Structure 1
Amino acid sequence: MKDDDEIQWWFEENTGLKKIAEIYKRTDRITVYDDVLDGRFRDRLKLDNQTGSLTITNTTTGHEGDYKLLINSEIKRFWLFVFVLESVKEGDSVSLNSDLTEMKDNDRIQWWFGYNITVIAEINVTVDRITVYDDVLDGRFRDRLKLDNQTGSLTITNTTTEHTGYYELKINWEIKRFRLYVIGEFKNSVSVKKGDSVSLNSRLTEMKDDDVIQWRFGDENTLIAEINKRADRITVYDDVLDGRFRDRLKLDKQTGSLTITNTTTEHDGDYRLLMFPGEIFFSSKAFRVSVYDSVHCCGPTEAVIRLVLSALVGVATVIIVVYEIRSRRAE
Structure 2
Amino acid sequence: MFLVIFLCMCSWSLEGVFGSESVMEGDSVLLSVNITETQRRDGIMWTYGPHTIPLAKLNAENNKTYNGPDGRFRDRLKLSESGSLIITDVRIKHSGLYYIYTTSQETPLKIFNITVYTHLPVPIISRVSSQISSSSSSSSDCCVLCSVMNVTRVSLSWYNGSRVHSSISVSDLNIRLSLPLEVEYQDTNTYRCVVNNPITNHTQHLHVTQLCHTCSEFSCCCGFTEAVIRLVVSALVGVATVAFLVYDVRSGAVLDPV
TM category (shorter chain) comes to 0.5 to 0.7
Which residue identity does 1:325 align to in structure 2?
G
Task: Give the aligned partner of residue 255 of structure 2.
Answer: none
Q: Which runs of 5+ in 1 are unaligned?
A: 1-6, 11-19, 22-53, 65-79, 201-214, 219-223, 225-242, 273-285, 299-308
Q: Confirm or deny: 8 A CA contact 1:271 1:288 kept in the other structure.
A: no
Match of 2:79 among 147, 157, 170: 147
Shift of the 249–270 alpha-carbon distance from structure 1 to 2, 3 Å rule, reads closer
Match of 1:133 among 54, 59, 66: 66
Bigger relative contact order, structure 1 or 2 (CA pairs below 8 A, ≥6 apart) = 2
Distance 2:78 2:121 in 1: 30
Question: TM-score scaled by structure 1?
Answer: 0.44
Shift of the 289–9 alpha-carbon distance from structure 1 to 2, 3 Å rule, reads same
Distance 1:310 1:130 in 2: 73
Question: TM-score scaled by structure 2?
Answer: 0.54
Which residue identity does 1:160 align to in structure 2?
R
Q: Which runs of 5+ in 2 are unaligned?
A: 128-141, 171-176, 183-188, 213-220, 245-258
Which residue identity does 1:63 align to in structure 2?
S
Q: Confirm or deny: 8 A CA contact 2:26 2:88 kept in the other structure.
A: yes
Residue 82 of structure 2 is aligned to residue 169 of structure 1 = no
Count how many residue pairs are aligned between Structure 1 and Structure 2: 197
Q: Confirm or deny: 8 A CA contact 2:42 2:102 kept in the other structure.
A: yes
How do 1:78-157 residues align onto structure 2 when only pairs under 5 Å count? 83-98=18-33, 100=34, 105-125=40-60, 128-134=61-67, 136-148=68-80, 150-157=81-88
> Which is helix-richer, 1 or 2?
2
Shift of the 290–119 alpha-carbon distance from structure 1 to 2, 3 Å rule, reads same
Q: Which has the larger radius of gyration?
A: 2
Question: Cα offset for 1:115?
Answer: 2.1
| Identity of matched residues, % | 23
Distance 1:155 1:287 in 2: 26
Distance 1:290 1:266 in 2: 6
Shift of the 289–323 alpha-carbon distance from structure 1 to 2, 3 Å rule, reads farther
> Which is strand-richer, 1 or 2?
1
Distance 2:59 2:222 in 1: 70
Task: Give the aligned partner of residue 325 of structure 1.
Answer: 238
Question: Cα offset for 1:130?
Answer: 0.9
Question: Cα offset for 1:192?
Answer: 7.2
